[in-house]
Amino acid sequence: MRYDAVILGFGEAGKTLAGALAKQGKKVVLVERSRGMYGGTCINVGCIPSKSLVTSAAEAKLHADAPFEEKAARYAEANAEKRRVTGLLRGKNYDKLNDLENVTVMDGFGRFLSGHEVEVLLTDGGSTVLEADRIFINTGSEPVIPRIEGLEGNPHVYFSETLMDEEKLPRDLVMIGAGYIGMEFASMYANFGSNVTVLQDGDVFLPREDRDVAEAIHGLLEKQGVKILENAKTSRLDGGDVIFEKDGVQQTLHADAVLVATGRKAATEGLQLDKAGVAVTPRGAVETDALLRTTAPDIWALGDVNGGPQFTFVSLDDYRIVMSQLNSGSRSRDDRQNVPYSVFMDTPLGRVGITEAEAEKKGIPVRILKLPTAAVPKAQVLRHTGGFLKAVVHAETGKILGASLLCPEAYELINTIKLAMDEDLDYTVLRDRIYTHPTMTEAFNDLFAL
């Protein structure tokens, strides 16, 4: 039987596309290599489990003086809650598609045989070949594994996914890498009660952020007890001993767990893309144009695998672009507008648009508005006053060009700023609105009045 569509991977884009195509009467097969991954990375090993743990960690920090055993017990409970939530969502995701008459969820690893043929190595053994008019690649991303002696097969070594699955709270956690996911984990495990040390290979902390923002994050993490060692290059691991060089001096740290957080790369291994004429970029992602078409006709790539920003909401937007195209619409990656992001640390960061440093580099005349979090009444109510809210506003047009919000609920607030930017609103619109009280949003009255 020839299908209208075969989708490789049960990620955010793939599952949404499968449902939408099926509702249009198309026959769809969705191939997923792991029964534990229905719904994709976000639901099973990414956003949802990490935010479930972040929530529990915020509660756990109220018991910072408790003995370690009590903290460990609290962590085990948090882990059980995380498993409950992910299990629930995984089941719902599966049922939502599997209950559709036109969708077949197939358990197996898909790989190309040609531009219209996919071979599925079935999870329960054997294989089958699917023919399709259109094929959509949504295989996501996987951790980058750095070449460090003693890392492979070391039981002390974890990646984000495996660490979150470990039911024992590590007393000493050493992290290799200081990226965004890493900082979220550093903050979360510090709140649970681990001694966290971050080894950063380089001397610029969070290089994409303005220096005042990065320094404030650094300070807030240190206040939580996280040690961040800059210019610390890990040379090898010996069991739980992490041997690194800092400022030319070799040092050793002992860890119960070593979290490797050195980024994620497109998951293309084993796909046999060459058999379909699908090219990859120099960084190994599937090459796509602004409409997410690959170099082969009738094959698209959506989500992390196409090398775009690695966020669930970007994957969802990739789905919108492809669906619009199939329905003769005009969406493309070029009209995506501002892509915000959030880092769910104890004091969260919400970011959108350009930074002050970028504005300076581009020679754009800007006004910088900066309000301490402590000046917001709701922050006092929440007893969470660290950080600040910073906006970059065009000095002549009054348009908001960017914002860095380092304050409670920044991950919610940033969406309002994104909306104002997308709609090309003047900063005075946010300044002069009425907002409910007491909320963090009303900080915009003061931030934009500066």
Q: In whole angstroms, how close is the CB of 56 to ligand FAD at the nearest point?
A: 15
Q: In whole angstroms, how close is the CB of 248 to ligand FAD at the nearest point?
A: 33
Position 424: which residue type?
A: D
Q: In whole angstroms, how close is the CB of 361 to ligand FAD at the nearest point?
A: 27
- Name the site residues for ligand FAD (rule: CB under 6 A): 8-13, 31-34, 37, 40-42, 46-47, 50, 109-110, 138-140, 160, 181, 267, 271, 303-305, 310-313, 315
In 3D space, the residue among 318, 267, 266 whose CA is nearest the CA of residue 289 turns out to be: 318
Q: In whole angstroms, how close is the CB of 338 to ligand FAD at the nearest point?
A: 15
- Residue 79 belongs to what H/E stretch? helix 68-98
Cα–Cα distance for residue pair 338/2, rounded to 1 Å: 39
Please say whether the beta carbons of 182 and 203 come within 8 A.
no
Comparing CB distances to ligand FAD, the nearer of 139 and 150 is 139
Comparing CB distances to ligand FAD, the nearer of 237 and 302 is 302
Comparing CB distances to ligand FAD, the nearer of 263 and 377 is 263
Cα–Cα distance for residue pair 74/56, rounded to 1 Å: 9
Q: In whole angstroms, how close is the CB of 45 to ligand FAD at the nearest point?
A: 6
Q: In whole angstroms, how close is the CB of 314 to ligand FAD at the nearest point?
A: 7
Comparing CB distances to ligand FAD, the nearer of 292 and 400 is 292
Cα–Cα distance for residue pair 137/294, rounded to 1 Å: 9
Give the number of other Cβ atoms within 10 Å of residue 147's Cβ. 6
Comparing CB distances to ligand FAD, the nearer of 393 and 407 is 407
What is the maximum span of the chain, computed from C-alpha positions, in angstroms?
A: 67
Comparing CB distances to ligand FAD, the nearer of 341 and 435 is 341
Residue 437 annotated to the active site: yes
DSSP 319-335: HHHHHHHHTT----GGG
Query: Which residue among 156, 218, 384, 437 is the active-site one?
Result: 437
Phi and psi angles of residue 168, each rounded to the nearest 5 degrees, phi first: -90, 130
Contacts for 217 with CB less than 8 Å, ≥ 6 apart: 183, 205, 206, 209, 345, 347, 349, 406
Q: In whole angstroms, how close is the CB of 180 to ligand FAD at the nearest point?
A: 9
Q: In whole angstroms, how close is the CB of 379 to ligand FAD at the nearest point?
A: 22
DSSP 162-206: HHHH--SPPSEEEEE--SHHHHHHHHHHHHHT-EEEEE-SSS-SS
Please say whether the beta carbons of 413 and 440 come within 8 A.
yes
Opening angle at CA 209, ends 443 and 223, nearest 5: 70
DSSP 101-166: TTEEEEEEEEEEEETTEEEEEETTS-EEEEEEEEEEE---EEE-----BT-TT-TTEE-HHHHHH-
Comparing CB distances to ligand FAD, the nearer of 36 and 67 is 36
Comparing CB distances to ligand FAD, the nearer of 128 and 428 is 128
Position 67: which residue type?
A: P
Q: Where are the beta strands (DSSP E) in 264-414?
A: 264-266, 299-301, 341-343, 349-353, 366-372, 388-394, 400-406
Catalytically annotated residues: 437
